[in-house]
Structure 1
Amino acid sequence: MTGAQVCVIIAARNAARTIPAAIASALREPEVAEVVVVDDASTDDTAKVAQAADDGSGRLCVIRFDVNRGPSFARNAAIVRSKSPFISILDADDFFLAGRFRELFAGADWDFAADNIMLIRDDAATDVSKIVAPRFSADPEFLDFERFIEGNISRRCVQRGELGFLKPVISRAFLDRHGLRYDENLRLGEDYELYARAVACGARFKVIRSCGYGAIVRADSLSGRHRTQDLRRLADADLALLAIDTLPEGSKAVLRRHERHVRDKYRLRHFLDVKAERGLVSAAAYALASQSNLVPIVRGVAADKLEALFRHIGFVSKHRHVPPRRFLMAATSPASET
């Protein structure tokens, strides 16, 4: 690739503290032609602070919504506003590592291209502009539909690393050719749904193990700040994907597993909500309404109680250990450095 051809999209809400570093990391990259910030009805000075991060190159555009519409709507609005042939999503509290796009554009054999993510604990990210990525071998691979969906089924007590967290550079031509945009009904898993639908449409989704994206992990990020209904909508999105006629049966089988995985999380969360709002009798009535409700609820409650017991008697730590830095995907250093 020659010249600046990437539009970086940052959907932001109440991100005044972190967005200057995010914008600076994007404007630093020579391949970036545009940075479109969408302030999704923040109650702080996100829009003002974002505008102040302008480097004078004319590449920064800040849009503000008066009503919160969610990340999917914000990103779609930014796509409409942008003109560049490639789109790159950057979360408002994350940042690009230097040279990221040079690595991703080393080959042109893809429709989506993603790199490794350095996950950095909040208290270990004192100055993100000075963080340097380790030199990992690229080890490129292409994700097929089954591999991608399987890579989004989380495991209990395992540090999260779903492939839906990837932040690929996306070909606008591919999105336009297949009429793809972010699902505005989703406020959870919107990246996962877009990537899955794209791969189902034949997208060449390339992944390299070298690292160019830094993600800040905050103390509350593991607790799941999403609403219960967001889980239900994500499970429903899986059902919509299952309606794609061209999916082979093997792909549908993995997708059904993911749908059940998300739906079971929804049922447990809904049970706990009903218990908190209307009491144990109403919650028990919901649990006993069907076996589909009962099994994940019993399993989930039992697992929570067992984990709490183990913490109480000291079998496991009372605090989840989050390392200062880790990587989304396992990677190896170049042979010359090992």
Structure 2
Amino acid sequence: MESATAHPDVQTICVVIAAKNAADTIATAVRSALHEALVSEVVVVDDGSSDDTAGAARSVDDGSGRLQIISLEKNQGPSAARNRAIAASSAPLIAILDADDFFFPGRFEPMLALGDWDMLADNIAFISDPAAALPPEKFESRARTISLIEFVEGNISERGKPRGETGFLKPIIRRSFLDAHRLRYDEGLRLGEDYDLYLRALAKGARYKVIEHCGYGAVVRADSLSSRHRTHDLKTLYEADEAILSDPLLPTQARAVITRHRDHIRERYEHRAFLDTKSNSGIVAAASYMFGRPQFLPYVAQAILLDKMEARRGGPVPVATPHAMRYLLAGVPAAADPAAVQK
């Protein structure tokens, strides 16, 4: 494999992997990152794991000197782990890879053929078994721009439906843009930390592009960290929106859509807070809590009713997806190779 260091005009990439108790999956993630010629650094931050995550990552070191493993004694959360990796690296481009996901071979070349961007994402394939994953379909590398409004709308979910697609994108980010605007992950967030960073970048004028080419494999797991968030995590997330809304220079349309997202997260928080209060202190205390927030009472009442209906059906209705692979973006198949057609 020819290294990007042989071409000094090509910007190289640091792949950041924050990992906690990921010994079963981290090797696949690290191996896929080291396979990419444009990757000059892979920084794994073992965030206070109780298993041998660091050892599993080290077991697939290819000897190129690109792999760095940082072990934190105590868990500090994904934001702090990613900031630590960014600080320990120097490549001009930063790519985030979740510890249970992987890159398909050749992810970055079609992406870096494009210019005029500060964040650049590609298509994602959702799969349940990475060991059985086939090569992704070849799509045209057509690019489009994602606005702040489209990005935020893609992070507003609705019960029984998939979250808006833009919430899952995994962009490459220019380090120079982050440094120029003093942007890093908010270490108070353990939920929605990517959303918050990308939103703050967009609010600073980041140019965000996405292409249909698929290079990221996202493993769908019922026990993912995002599916086990705490009530407090929802509170810190809507407060992060409020911090952005405090900017008096925020355009009107941006303010409106961020307000919608904040209210959406606040409603979810109030539902969870009601249930926590009921569990810890009883129904009287929970009712008192809720009547002190009458504006959220209709949402909480509806959410409780839907919960009961789902329980009677045996749980939430699963969203139908293909068994093998589902693509985040509907891409246009790439034109066939003329030489292959002639054969």
- Fold shared by both chains (TM-score > 0.5): yes
Name 2:258's counterpart in structure 1. Answer: 255
Per mean C-alpha deviation after superposition, the further-off stretch among 292-301 and 14-23 is: 292-301
Residue-by-residue CA offset, 1:4-27 (whole Å, 9 max, x unaligned): 610000000000110111001000
CA shift in 2, pair 1:259/1:85, >3 Å = same
Name 2:332's counterpart in structure 1. Answer: 332
Normalising by structure 2, we get a TM-score of 0.91
CA distance in 2, matches of 1:281, 1:151: 37
The code of the aligned residue for 1:24 comes to R
Name 1:35's counterpart in structure 2. Answer: 42
* Residue 197 of structure 2 is aligned to residue 207 of structure 1: no
* Residue 101 of structure 2 is aligned to residue 94 of structure 1: yes
Q: Secondary structure at the match of 1:264?
A: helix
1:139 Cα offset (Å): 2.8
* Residue 264 of structure 2 is aligned to residue 272 of structure 1: no
The code of the aligned residue for 2:130 comes to A
CA distance in 2, matches of 1:34, 1:144: 30
Of 216, 225, 230, the match for 2:219: 216
CA distance in 1, matches of 2:316, 2:255: 39
Q: Which runs of 5+ in 2 are unaligned?
A: 1-6, 338-343
Name 1:115's counterpart in structure 2. Answer: 122
Name 1:125's counterpart in structure 2. Answer: 130
Kindly tell me the number of residue pairs found equivalent between the two proteins.
329
The code of the aligned residue for 2:112 comes to F
Q: Which runs of 5+ in 1 are unaligned?
A: none
1:330 Cα offset (Å): 2.6
Q: Secondary structure at the match of 1:224?
A: helix
**C-alpha RMSD of matched pairs (Å):** 2.0
CA shift in 2, pair 1:59/1:222, >3 Å = closer
1:274 Cα offset (Å): 1.2
Q: Secondary structure at the match of 1:269?
A: helix
The code of the aligned residue for 1:327 comes to Y
* Residue 89 of structure 2 is aligned to residue 85 of structure 1: no
Name 1:74's counterpart in structure 2. Answer: 81
Name 2:249's counterpart in structure 1. Answer: 246
Normalising by structure 1, we get a TM-score of 0.92
Q: Secondary structure at the match of 1:23?
A: helix
The code of the aligned residue for 1:270 comes to A
Name 1:292's counterpart in structure 2. Answer: 295
CA shift in 2, pair 1:223/1:174, >3 Å = closer
* Residue 233 of structure 2 is aligned to residue 226 of structure 1: no
1:321 Cα offset (Å): 4.5
CA distance in 2, matches of 1:223, 1:27: 26
Per mean C-alpha deviation after superposition, the further-off stretch among 6-15 and 285-294 is: 285-294
Residue-by-residue CA offset, 1:104-162 (whole Å, 9 max, x unaligned): 101121000001111111xx33255xx31111223311111111111111111012344
5 Å-filtered alignment, 1:150-161, equals 150-161=153-164
CA distance in 2, matches of 1:72, 1:194: 10
Write out the 4+ residue segments of structure 1 that deviate beyond 6 Å after TM superposition. Answer: none
* Residue 20 of structure 2 is aligned to residue 13 of structure 1: yes
Quick check: 1:153–1:162 contact (8 Å CA) kept in 2? no
Q: Secondary structure at the match of 2:123?
A: strand
